[in-house]
Structure 1
Amino acid sequence: MPTHYKRKVNKTRGNCTQQDLENALESVRKGTSGVNEASRNSDIPCTTIRRRLKTGNIFKGSLGPPCFSPTRKAVREIAFKLANQLGIPHRFNRTMGISGTDWLNLFLERNRDLFVLEPEGVSLARIQNMNRKIVSDYFKLLEDILIENNLLNNPASIYYKDESGLHLNNKPEEVIAKRDSKNVAAVTSGKKGETITIISCCNSEGSFLPPAKMKKED
């Protein structure tokens, strides 16, 4: 039978706001307070303040690494592991370590905000070395270039190029996510295969260049 489980965590961990974090870092940089005092005033751990000062990352994100929506099989495996860990009697498949499809269907019925969606495949290489600081630095550099070259008021000279790679050797499994989820993605395998890349380009006024297509072997 389903049970209600509440994970025990540090109550203050991750409760600070973006402004709290910026104020704490600024006070230490200016010398108006030490790390320990800034930690007491903001309720932010000393280790967090020291790490942020060292890396220069002032953006508050969610706790833990970025996560992807689980597949139906992954949800069934998680249900099996949780049932065993919490000592909940069940009749799941112990040989395969997975719950049944009937359980999954009932789980989705009880949680009407969850749906089975087809995700966009994202290779593992694209998600490595990506964080808020890198994204922030990119847009800051872009803004500086636009200002330096007087392009902010010249949309006809600002072009945006995008490409979409169609991997013919692997298709991601459907995943379970909330109804209003945006840009649902799943990590695909790194196996070699044929890739078709479609490139499009337009400027800020809406004028498009002819599309281009490139076919290559990975």
Structure 2
Amino acid sequence: MGRKYKRKTDKQRDPTVFENALMEVKEKGASVRVAAALPIVDQTFRLASYSVRQVLTPNKDSSKLFHGLSTNTTKRLAYEYAVANKFSVPESWARDESAGRDWLTGFLERQGDLSLRTPEATSLARMTSFNRTNLCIFQTKLEGVLQRYQLSESCIYNLDETGCTTVQKVSKIITQKGVHQVGQVTSRERGELVTMVGIICANGNALPPCFIFPRVRFDEAWMMNGVPPACMFIPAGG
């Protein structure tokens, strides 16, 4: 079965069915319940409704709780939920004890606002500390410091660091099948991690980035070649 099914006929899509039901309500004074119970309307809805085979209902709270589900976990959960509720499932589900790729693709398309993304690794300590109580304490103390010292936006800075490797990541290449090992030329096989520090002010101004190298001595002539103006270089042992 293809994952991009295209309807080949307009069967059960006759717009006159709903127009006649609307006429029953407006001109004849029938209630919406009575119009929906008309034989042709009821048959159209029963044949065109696929929600009776819906396995999982939309639930997007797991990713917000830092416990998002992978594709394999989602497919296994769909199968277990269907078995627990005695839903009819394809034979491939029972054989693999998991939903298929077609179901997962259709599930993501039906929701519309779901997508596959690579999550950022977050420690348990950081996740548990990010709550309403701690945020209120932080905001209260911050407001007290700002009022006590009469600090403006130009006096507030935020700093964050990130790691930059000195070896470029190789991209996928086309090679012959059956080759067990494929190589690609780089500057080094294993590079060193250089820390880049970014500092930005609350008023929108930003300071030049600062690079921290894991060495005591270094040559600024080649390390400053091609970098943005006014960048700072600091040795880790300095």
Q: Which has the higher Rg, Structure 1 or Structure 2?
A: 2
Asked which structure has the greater RCO (Cα within 8 Å, sep 6+), the reply is: 1
TM-score when normalising by structure 1? 0.49
